[in-house]
Amino acid sequence: MMLQVQNKRIEVKELGFKDYKETWDEQERLFKEILDLKVKNRRENTQIETPNYLLSVEHPHVYTLGKSGDISNLLINENQLEEKGAKFYKINRGGDITYHGPGQMVIYPILDLDNFFTDIHKYLRLLEEAVILVLKDYGLVAERSKGETGVWLDVGTPFARKICAMGVRASRWVTMHGLALNVNADLGYFDNIVPCGIKEKAVTSLNVELGKTTVNMEEVKQRFFLHFKELFEADFSTI
């Protein structure tokens, strides 16, 4: 069996402010492109490089429910969703329900992990680590919470609060979906769900933690890209 040539270049796609469903469709398109190429390489015994992508986006208000999620964790009905200008989708990632909206840095890595390492556990831990390092840049001590994917503050105390949610899908070592870091998020929208299915734990945002009205989103993103690039030993190109 021919070994795959590793391609550690990642193309960063800045999508700006984009509807969730449109972005999901774009993820699916890129995901399929990589999977089809891997199948072709296997069938034809070729070594065409598989690409990697990192989508950066902010969404209008939306709630998404993972494939193992419980719909009862959405605490409002269809009419109330409309009143709040929010949409709802059941999607094919892991995890339960979460919220995306303005002021949130959403990152979707569409990677062929055969180009890096074939270990989903390590992949999730490195995503968390990139966020932990970003928050450290801002003077915050963030960490993991045992059994709960994502990034938290004050773990193990009555004041534990989640600042970054994660949920991924992988097939043949190709990833999609990703993470959402609250930077300047309207936390009131989290009151309409049981975030990630975890009761009695708070959610926070970087601007709240820093006592600021807003934090520079572009600066946060660039810090994330830097840490991601170093952790994955990758090369970035941006379009």
Full DSSP string of 168-209: EEEETTEEEEEEEEESS--GGGGGGB-GGG-TT-EE--HHHH
Regarding predicted confidence, which is higher, 74 or 209? 209
For residue 186, say whether it is annotated as part of any ligand binding site: no
What is the spatial distance between Cα 10 and Cα 30, in angstroms, rounded to a whole number?
Answer: 13
The answer to the question of residue 235 being in a domain is no
By three-state DSSP, how is residue 163 classified? strand
The answer to the question of residue 2 being in a domain is no
- Look up residue 206 and give its amino acid: L
What is the spatial distance between Cα 191 and Cα 203, in angstroms, rounded to a whole number?
Answer: 9
pLDDT surpasses 90 at 13? yes
Averaged pLDDT, 127-136: 98
What is the spatial distance between Cα 8 and Cα 30, in angstroms, rounded to a whole number?
Answer: 16
The answer to the question of residue 203 being in a domain is yes
The answer to the question of residue 238 being in a domain is no
Averaged pLDDT, 76-100: 85
Contact 110, 207 (CB under 8 A): no
DSSP state of 108: E
Closest to 162 (Cα-Cα) out of 200, 192, 107, 214: 200
Note down the domain range covering 194: 9-230
**What is the tens place of the pLDDT at every residue in 158-216?**
999 999 999 899 999 999 999 999 999 999 998 888 765 555 578 999 999 999 999 99
> pLDDT at position 97, please?
84
- Look up residue 36 and give its amino acid: D
For residue 165, say whether it is annotated as part of any ligand binding site: yes
What is the number of structural domains in the chain?
Answer: 1
196, 206, 215, 217: which is the annotated catalytic residue? 196
What is the spatial distance between Cα 143 and Cα 130, in angstroms, rounded to a whole number?
Answer: 11
The reply to whether 196 belongs to the active site is yes
As a 3-state breakdown, the chain gives helix, strand, coil percent values, each rounded to 5, of 35, 30, 35
pLDDT bin (cut points 50, 70, 90) of residue 239 is: low
pLDDT surpasses 50 at 1? no
pLDDT surpasses 80 at 68? no
For residue 16, say whether it is annotated as part of any ligand binding site: no
CA end-to-end distance (rounded Å), the chain: 35
The answer to the question of residue 170 being in a domain is yes
Question: Which segment of 52-56, 92-96, 136-140, 207-211 scores lowest on mean pLDDT?
Answer: 92-96
By three-state DSSP, how is residue 44 classified? helix
For residue 86, say whether it is annotated as part of any ligand binding site: no
For residue 93, say whether it is annotated as part of any ligand binding site: yes
Domain at 56, CATH number: 3.30.930.10
The answer to the question of residue 59 being in a domain is yes
**What is the tens place of the pLDDT at every residue in 210-233?**
999 999 999 999 999 999 999 999
For residue 189, say whether it is annotated as part of any ligand binding site: no
For residue 98, say whether it is annotated as part of any ligand binding site: yes
The answer to the question of residue 4 being in a domain is no
What is the spatial distance between Cα 23 and Cα 108, in angstroms, rounded to a whole number?
Answer: 9
pLDDT bin (cut points 50, 70, 90) of residue 57 is: very high
The answer to the question of residue 79 being in a domain is yes
pTM score of the predicted model: 0.92
Regarding predicted confidence, which is higher, 79 or 53? 53
